[in-house]
Amino acid sequence: MTEITTRPATMAEWDDVQAALSGGGDGRSCQCAWPMLSNAEWNATTVEQRGELLRHELQSGPPPGLVAYVDGEPAGWIRIGPHPAQQRTIRTRIVKTGSALPLDDEGVWAVTCFSVRREHRRLGLNAALLAAAVDYARASGARVVEGYPIATDTTKPSTNALFVGAVSTFLRAGFREVARPTPNRVVVALDL
């Protein structure tokens, strides 16, 4: 039987985070920096610089995400943290028009990225990562967790486009739909 475990990502998990981000898709080149950087900053950085930004986050804490393991092997990643810490995300049209919550509220957390290695897809890792992220947010004092997933009932997104998650994963985890700023993008929230 497959064993799925998760843990917050600190510098001790650096190699595991890199393994989780490097198993297919844009994770390796992004280094989960997209939610943190403006367009200008993103375009001005290299993959190595984005990696250094993530390394700095892991060193300085609190953990900006969690790593999932399948039978002890790094298999997936999720980014979660307070709204104010994810500056690009809170400036997007999806969040600005869809979220009714204050964008500067440290008690409002957001799930902004999933990355699962190809060989571990279809095992329920996104659901396991999301459940662990909600527990982590609750233990860290969050009052609400938001997500900005894709509605797979209205579109057939590429695997890379699913880095924000699928609506169905969030709804099964108890989130409620708050708004649908576009036909394919949904704002969901879970009160803790």
Q: What is the mean pLDDT of residues 147-164?
A: 85
Expressed as residue numbers, the domain containing 156 is 4-191
Question: Tell me, what's the pLDDT at 158?
Answer: 78
* Mean pLDDT within 62-76: 96
CA angle 21, 17, 139 (to 5 degrees): 120
* Averaged pLDDT of the chain: 93
Q: What is the CATH number of the domain that holds 164?
A: 3.40.630.30
Confidence of residue 19 (pLDDT cuts 50, 70, 90): very high
DSSP 150-170: B-TTT----TGGGGG-BHHHH
CA distance 189 to 1: 32
Query: What pLDDT, on a 0 to 100 scale, did the predictor assign at position 57?
Result: 93
Percent of the chain with pLDDT over 70: 100
Q: Identify which has the larger pLDDT, 79 or 23.
A: 79
What pTM did the predictor assign?
0.94
Question: What integer pLDDT is reported at residue 141 of this predicted model?
Answer: 97
71-114 tens-digit pLDDT: 999 999 999 999 999 988 888 999 999 999 998 999 999 999 99
Alpha carbon distance 59, 176 (integer Å): 34
State how many domains the chain has.
Answer: 1
